[in-house]
């Protein structure tokens, strides 16, 4: 993590909270999983749990989100429970995976400097009223960042209460769910995403249609994602029109815990077959260009797993569509206008075991 005059950024895990939970559950065998960026924290937790007498297994497969939990690994390895470090949901999405937040702790000085740069950029773009959102790992930094923005004269829209069925908090976004920024889109002129990378900010921009900046506490930089978002939208649109002319298509359902949409895949296959397409049903755990390029004989793919996957697999020999693009494709095939593609609040229905058959 970065250090400097503004102080370092470190990761904090509530180890005492984990110990209390485990004292209550009394497991003997525990799995520990974490996204790649939090692997050192996961290894620290591994050693801590081992020193407390548990049998521990580090579950090293990638875990990308709350759709990707470890109940099956727990069952197959004969563990009692798994700890998924770094992801957070408002309610439990798995029976035997415990979500434990890992927080990036950032000094007020660093957040103050970031707020100053953000305020300047918002003024330059003429964005007076903004929505500010983040991921769970910046939850405590968000409070301080909002105070610093207010001190810089930035007007921020308040968070409403999350709907009872929402898996995420009112201030939170995840890669496929922008329901909270989307809800206030008519009250704001733009958004700020507190965090690293462009991934979530581009999602907010595409979902709401409003200008979005990334305020990156690690790089101490503020970036406008407009160019990247427009480019993704243009490529997504081109893929829809290319898929319209495809004859042999594949529909990929994910195999991760919250990405199994076989019923949805069947319904989509029926609709596409009515439109004259030949459909192959496919299931896959890790969606990668290398795996998708094995499907030489297909001319287009719809991926129902993570809706971000088609953004990442750029060197596949055929168009790869996400679920929102597939819905737009159906409209085009019926002779309707392509309509809104990503300008919707939720891009996938995630949740452990939401769809079982």
CB of 16 to ligand SF4, least distance (A): 28
Can you say how many angstroms the Cα of residue 357 is from the centroid of all Cα atoms in its chain? 24
Judged by beta carbon, residue 111 or residue 174, the one nearer ligand SF4 is 174
Does 349 bind ligand SF4 (CB under 6 A)? Our answer is no
Interacting residues with ligand SF4 between 281 and 310 (CB under 6 A): 306, 308
Q: What is the DSSP string of 56-110?
A: EEE--S---STTS--HHHHHHHT-SEEEEES---SS---SSEEEE-EEEE--HHH
* Closest among 312, 146, 111, 325 to 222, alpha carbons compared: 111
Q: Which of 27, 35, 175, 310 binds ligand SF4 (CB under 6 A)?
A: 175
Does 202 bind ligand SF4 (CB under 6 A)? Our answer is no
Instruction: Classify 320 as helix, strand or coil.
Output: strand
- Per-state percent for the chain, helix, strand, coil, to nearest 5: 40, 20, 40
Q: Where are the beta strands (DSSP E) in 148-219?
A: 155-156, 190-194, 212-216
- Judged on CB neighbours under 10 Å (0-12, 13-18, 19+), 57 is middle
CB of 19 to ligand SF4, least distance (A): 28
CB of 223 to ligand SF4, least distance (A): 20
Which stretch in 29-37, 60-68, 125-133, 260-268 sits in contact with ligand SF4 by CB under 6 A?
Answer: 60-68
Binding mask 119-158 for ligand SF4 (x = CB under 6 A): ----------------------------------------
How many residues touch ligand SF4 under the rule CB under 6 A: the total is 12
Question: Angle, nearest 10°, between helix axes 139-151 and 108-125?
Answer: 60
Does 204 bind ligand SF4 (CB under 6 A)? Our answer is no
Does 67 bind ligand SF4 (CB under 6 A)? Our answer is yes
Judged by beta carbon, residue 68 or residue 71, the one nearer ligand SF4 is 68
Cα 189 from Cα 48, distance rounded (Å): 47
Which stretch in 1-9, 65-73, 103-111, 314-322 sits in contact with ligand SF4 by CB under 6 A?
Answer: 65-73
Cα dist from 48 to 25, 41, 70, 199, whole Å: 17, 11, 20, 33
Which stretch in 169-177, 187-195, 236-244, 277-285 sits in contact with ligand SF4 by CB under 6 A?
Answer: 169-177
Interacting residues with ligand SF4 between 251 and 280 (CB under 6 A): none
Would you state the structure tokens that stand for residue 66, as one six-digit string? 């709350």
Does 320 bind ligand SF4 (CB under 6 A)? Our answer is no
Interface ranges with ligand SF4 (CB under 6 A): 64-68, 174-176, 306, 308, 348, 350
């Amino acid at each position: 993590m970065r250090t400097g005059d503004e102080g370092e950024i470190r990761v904090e895990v509530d180890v005492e909270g984990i110990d209390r939970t485990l004292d209550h559950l009394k497991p003997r065998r525990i799995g520990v999983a974490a996204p790649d960026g939090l692997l050192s924290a996961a290894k620290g937790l591994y050693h801590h749990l081992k020193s407390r007498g548990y049998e521990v297994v580090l579950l090293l497969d990638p875990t990308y989100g709350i759709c990707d939990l470890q109940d099956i690994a727990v069952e197959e390895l004969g563990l009692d429970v798994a700890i998924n470090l770094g992801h957070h949901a408002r309610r439990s999405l798995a029976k035997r995976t415990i979500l434990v937040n890992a927080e990036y702790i950032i000094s007020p000085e660093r957040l103050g400097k970031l707020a100053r740069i953000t305020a300047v950029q918002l003024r330059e773009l003429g964005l007076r009223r903004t929505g500010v959102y983040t991921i769970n790992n910046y939850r405590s930094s968000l409070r301080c960042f909002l105070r610093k923005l207010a001190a810089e004269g930035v007007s921020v829209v308040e968070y409403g209460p999350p709907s009872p069925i929402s898996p995420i908090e009112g201030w939170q976004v995840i890669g496929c769910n922008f329901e909270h920024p989307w809800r206030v889109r008519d009250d704001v002129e733009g958004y700020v995403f507190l965090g690293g990378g462009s991934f979530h900010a581009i999602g907010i921009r595409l979902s709401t249609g409003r200008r979005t900046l990334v305020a990156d506490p690690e790089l101490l930089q503020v970036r406008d994602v407009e160019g990247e978002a427009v480019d993704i939208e243009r490529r997504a649109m081109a893929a829809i029109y290319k898929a319209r002319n495809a004859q042999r298509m594949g529909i990929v359902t994910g195999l991760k815990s919250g990405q199994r949409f076989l019923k949805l895949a069947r319904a989509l296959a029926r609709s596409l077959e009515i439109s004259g397409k030949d459909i192959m049903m496919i299931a896959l755990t890790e969606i990668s260009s290398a795996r998708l390029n094995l499907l030489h004989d297909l001319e287009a793919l719809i991926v129902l797993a993570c809706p971000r996957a088609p953004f990442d697999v750029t060197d596949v020999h055929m168009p790869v569509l996400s679920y929102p693009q597939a819905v737009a494709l159906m409209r085009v095939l019926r002779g309707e206008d392509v309509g809104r593609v990503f300008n919707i609040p939720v891009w996938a229905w995630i949740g452990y075991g939401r769809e079982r058959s």
